């Protein structure tokens, strides 16, 4: 029987296989209880082109200090920030990789904020 983490990683692997076949730049999301992280990864998977998270000092200052990175408001800030960084790197279109997490709550808030800021996926 698979554990909860193994199930999530299995779902993530299936998604990454499909994205690799498309050959698209991907926006990956990872969440923990305290933080949420977003990376834009090249189409070959070799380089991180842009990254943003609630662990960054500028984002922590905006969300109100330590311990506030695990909510949807913080995820929205990270979504806007990753979209700005991706556009600065010349990336307009990405494939969304939710890393096996449910498209709900913080993951959805990050995705919606990135779309509003101009990323297409």
pLDDT, tens only, 14-41: 999 999 999 999 999 999 999 999 999 9
Is the pLDDT reported for residue 69 higher than 90?
Answer: no
Tally the domains of the chain: 1
Whether residue 120 lies inside any domain: the answer is no
Whether residue 50 lies inside any domain: the answer is yes
Give the global pTM. Answer: 0.92
H-helix or E-strand spanning residue 15: helix 4-22
CATH number at 6 reads: 3.30.420.100
In a domain, 121, yes or no: no
Q: Is residue 84 part of a domain?
A: yes
Residue 7: inside a domain: yes
Question: Could you list the residue range(s) of the whole structural domain that residue 52 is in?
Answer: 2-115
Helix axes 72-88, 106-116, angle to 10 degrees: 40
DSSP assigned state of 93:
B
74 vs 65: CA distance, rounded Å: 11
Among residues 64, 46, 40, which one has the least CA distance to residue 54? 64
């Amino acid at each position: 029987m698979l554990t909860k983490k193994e199930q999530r990683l299995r779902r993530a692997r299936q998604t990454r296989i499909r994205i690799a076949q498309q050959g698209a730049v991907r926006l990956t999301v990872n969440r923990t209880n305290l933080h949420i992280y977003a990376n834009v990864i090249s189409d070959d998977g070799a380089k991180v082109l842009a990254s943003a998270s609630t662990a960054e000092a500028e984002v922590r200052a905006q969300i109100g200090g330590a311990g506030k990175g695990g909510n949807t408001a913080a995820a929205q800030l990270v979504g806007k920030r990753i979209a700005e960084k991706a556009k600065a790197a010349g990336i307009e279109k990405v494939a969304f990789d939710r890393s096996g997490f449910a498209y709900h709550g913080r993951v959805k808030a990050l995705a919606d904020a990135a779309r509003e800021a101009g990323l297409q996926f």
